[in-house]
Chains A and B, each alone.
Chain A
């Protein structure tokens, strides 16, 4: 018998399956993991410290850059915390817009997740499919905020602007013939809501396509069934939230249990897994996309019937409209104060949590009565998930580590902050 010794393997930080900058130090016995020690912090930018030196509104943009595949959900957690301290009521229409974009963001996030997860495990096509749909959703982001990713769209008091009446159009160019551009513009003739509705009608068909490729796929099942099993008890202990917790059979969703905005008026179901392995978590997330699609549909029909303001008219906090700032003395003063000094927030501490696509995204905000946060702590779901890497990976093969990284849906923007 040849003698086999344990050895240490360095995985990442520059590895395509490391989802960014994860460095794993793996102690291996042959091809079996004995111990996994994740080294994080390679993307640490000190967001929380930076936030302490900037007025409240200037930090919204930093929130986008935390979990950079579910941008608006991060903003949502932050503005909710400010609104709670200010005890600010926001217009009904803004609540529906926020819910709609939260769910669009959830679909965006899950598409990114399924694309990269499947790519890591060996299914190249999924990646191309998922990015095809992401394109439409990013166009929605662009139409509403001007940027495809880092939207900075939510504001304490509502959202920055109302939904546009027209979608941007494709232009004829050297690379795109007139006919091609016209084909791409076909469903962009109406308002943003019309385009979103068109997408929600198409999307269930797309999910069916993904499921055809993966759900009964023999290779996919071999790579995910029984991998990274976490029991309910351990899931609580390890701080799991969101799809990771639901995959282990806990029926828990903040949108249902501690509803915020208008989720209590929405009709949707919570998918729950039974075995707590990678395959169950895959099924949970797939079903979440279908449910998100349902919520978006309900929001569209409400938003079409109910025009109104989208930003609070409390101009001590929310900026007045441009015409008002130009023509009205009060408006001018408010505008000047808000954009030079910002608003002060009463002294206090709040913790707000939302159901982020990855789990519970919490913002712990301490204010000492100033125009800047005294301390901002972002509770990123991925941080707790990644900390369980050692427990989930021990005893599995090296190739399963890649599946486990995929199933944890890790994004380093939020983990390193």
Chain B
């Protein structure tokens, strides 16, 4: 990498100041969070200014954080009957069926995000830009098709799969799902098996849609283990101190 990540993060802070919600370096990658109001301005400057020169939008995708950190097994402590066993039906996205509802575990405004990956060919560096839509029931983010033309299809895809609305997009149609598809399949509350299935009806002599007949089949439950190999030293110390305080 031509410029060090620290330098990049510093100059981002210097140039944009309060326009950025946060700047973070993790896993050798810089992530910047912006509010939807500031997105266009920040994006334009990231592309135009000599210092950054992010010529290309490499990727754009939607994320639904509504089930972040929700596991099917509790593994933190064992009760008298051992660890929790047997999975509650319809608590996670893979096991949902038609009509099941799933509650979001995050606050309103932290559920849907659009994530942009930028690359600068001149400076040989990458940047991740993240925008959270303010309202979960009607998530809107401004379009950046005027800044990077490649955003066109990516925004259509995020709209199709997550229902993220990109205000100002010239042609926000569905792109990957079928003509006349209902719902946004990559949302965590959309069942993995889908809602409808399609077949040719020889009596009616046309293709018809029916409710799905298959059962959800997820074989391995989702487990989150607290693995001390991945906990940083500071966290360890903090935990110890908390334990002392409790005692």
Residue numbers of A with Cβ under 8 A of B are 40-41, 44, 46, 48-50, 52-55, 58, 84-85, 236-239, 241, 250, 252, 257-258, 316, 340-342, 344, 346-351, 353, 360, 362, 364, 366, 368-372, 374-375, 377, 379, 383-384, 386-387, 416-417
* A387 with B71, Cβ < 8 A, contacts A49-B192, A372-B222 known: no
B152 A387 Cβ-Cβ under 8 A: yes
Taking the closest CB of chain A, its distance from the CB of B85, in whole angstroms, is: 13
Is B206 an interface residue, CB under 8 A from the partner?
A: no
Is B225 an interface residue, CB under 8 A from the partner?
A: yes
Query: Which residues of B sit under 8 angstroms from A44, Cβ to Cβ?
Result: 176-177
A236 B56 Cβ-Cβ under 8 A: yes
Query: Which residues of B sit under 8 angstroms from A360, Cβ to Cβ?
Result: 58
Query: Which residues of A sit under 8 angstroms from B169, Cβ to Cβ?
Result: none
A55 B153 Cβ-Cβ under 8 A: no
Query: Which residues of A sit under 8 angstroms from B177, Cβ to Cβ?
Result: 41, 44
Is B212 an interface residue, CB under 8 A from the partner?
A: no
B58 A362 Cβ-Cβ under 8 A: yes
Query: Which residues of B sit under 8 angstroms from A386, Cβ to Cβ?
Result: 153
B117: contacting residue among A53, A316, A364, A370, CB under 8 A: A364
In chain B, positions 147-183 with a C-beta closer than 8 Å to chain A are: 148-150, 152-154, 157, 174-178
Query: Which residues of B sit under 8 angstroms from A344, Cβ to Cβ?
Result: 223-225, 227
**Within the assembled complex, what's the spacing in Å between the Cα atoms of A41 and B222?**
29
**Within the assembled complex, what's the spacing in Å between the Cα atoms of A387 and B155?**
12
Taking the closest CB of chain B, its distance from the CB of A241, in whole angstroms, is: 8
20 new A-B contacts at CB < 8 Å, known A237-B148, A346-B230, A370-B223: A41-B178, A52-B93, A53-B222, A54-B220, A236-B56, A258-B1, A341-B220, A342-B220, A348-B26, A349-B26, A364-B59, A364-B61, A364-B117, A369-B224, A372-B220, A372-B222, A374-B67, A374-B68, A375-B64, A383-B154
Query: Which residues of B sit under 8 angstroms from A48, Cβ to Cβ?
Result: 186
B58 A238 Cβ-Cβ under 8 A: no
Query: Which residues of B sit under 8 angstroms from A49, Cβ to Cβ?
Result: 185-186, 192
Taking the closest CB of chain B, its distance from the CB of A350, in whole angstroms, is: 5
B176 A41 Cβ-Cβ under 8 A: yes
List 5 tightest A-B contacts by C-beta distance, closest first: A239-B150, A53-B94, A346-B230, A41-B176, A387-B153
A387: contacting residue among B68, B150, B230, CB under 8 A: B150
B124 A258 Cβ-Cβ under 8 A: yes
* A238 with B150, Cβ < 8 A, contacts A41-B175, A348-B26 known: yes
Taking the closest CB of chain B, its distance from the CB of A216, in whole angstroms, is: 33
**Within the assembled complex, what's the spacing in Å between the Cα atoms of A371 and B94?**
14
**Within the assembled complex, what's the spacing in Å between the Cα atoms of A236 and B128?**
17
**Within the assembled complex, what's the spacing in Å between the Cα atoms of A379 and B150?**
12
* A416 with B56, Cβ < 8 A, contacts A48-B186, A344-B227, A384-B150 known: no
Query: Which residues of A sit under 8 angstroms from B148, Cβ to Cβ?
Result: 237, 239
Proximity bits, B36-60, A CB within 8 Å = 1, else 0: 0000000000000000000111110
B1 A350 Cβ-Cβ under 8 A: no
Taking the closest CB of chain B, its distance from the CB of A286, in whole angstroms, is: 24
Query: Which residues of B sit under 8 angstroms from A371, Cβ to Cβ?
Result: 220, 222-225
* A250 with B121, Cβ < 8 A, contacts A44-B176, A46-B185, A237-B148 known: yes
* A/B interface sample: 25 pairs, CB < 8 A: A41-B174, A49-B192, A84-B27, A236-B56, A237-B148, A237-B150, A239-B58, A239-B149, A257-B124, A258-B124, A340-B220, A341-B220, A346-B227, A350-B29, A351-B29, A353-B58, A364-B117, A369-B69, A370-B223, A371-B223, A371-B224, A374-B67, A375-B64, A379-B59, A383-B157
* A366 with B149, Cβ < 8 A, contacts A52-B93, A52-B94, A416-B176 known: no
Taking the closest CB of chain B, its distance from the CB of A339, in whole angstroms, is: 10
**Within the assembled complex, what's the spacing in Å between the Cα atoms of A362 and B126?**
12
In chain B, positions 175-225 with a C-beta closer than 8 Å to chain A are: 175-178, 185-186, 192, 218, 220-225
Query: Which residues of A sit under 8 angstroms from B29, Cβ to Cβ?
Result: 349-351
**Within the assembled complex, what's the spacing in Å between the Cα atoms of A368 and B67?**
9
Residue numbers of B with Cβ under 8 A of A are 1, 26-27, 29, 31, 55-59, 61, 63-64, 67-69, 71, 93-94, 115, 117, 121, 124, 126, 128, 148-150, 152-154, 157, 174-178, 185-186, 192, 218, 220-225, 227, 229-230
B192 A351 Cβ-Cβ under 8 A: no
Query: Which residues of B sit under 8 angstroms from A379, Cβ to Cβ?
Result: 58-59, 117
Query: Which residues of B sit under 8 angstroms from A370, Cβ to Cβ?
Result: 71, 222-224
Taking the closest CB of chain B, its distance from the CB of A189, in whole angstroms, is: 43
Taking the closest CB of chain A, its distance from the CB of B75, in whole angstroms, is: 9
**Within the assembled complex, what's the spacing in Å between the Cα atoms of A346 and B94?**
21
* A383 with B153, Cβ < 8 A, contacts A50-B192, A53-B93 known: yes
Considering only CB atoms, which chain A residue lies closest to B64 in the complex? A375
Kindly name the residue among A238, A252, A344 whose own CB sees the greatest number of chain B CB atoms within 10 A.
Answer: A344
B222 A236 Cβ-Cβ under 8 A: no
Query: Which residues of A sit under 8 angstroms from B69, Cβ to Cβ?
Result: 347, 368-369
Considering only CB atoms, which chain B residue lies closest to A359 in the complex? B58
Taking the closest CB of chain A, its distance from the CB of B81, in whole angstroms, is: 19
* A349 with B31, Cβ < 8 A, contacts A257-B124, A340-B220, A371-B223 known: yes
**Within the assembled complex, what's the spacing in Å between the Cα atoms of A333 and B92?**
28
Query: Which residues of B sit under 8 angstroms from A342, Cβ to Cβ?
Result: 220
**Within the assembled complex, what's the spacing in Å between the Cα atoms of A270 and B117?**
25
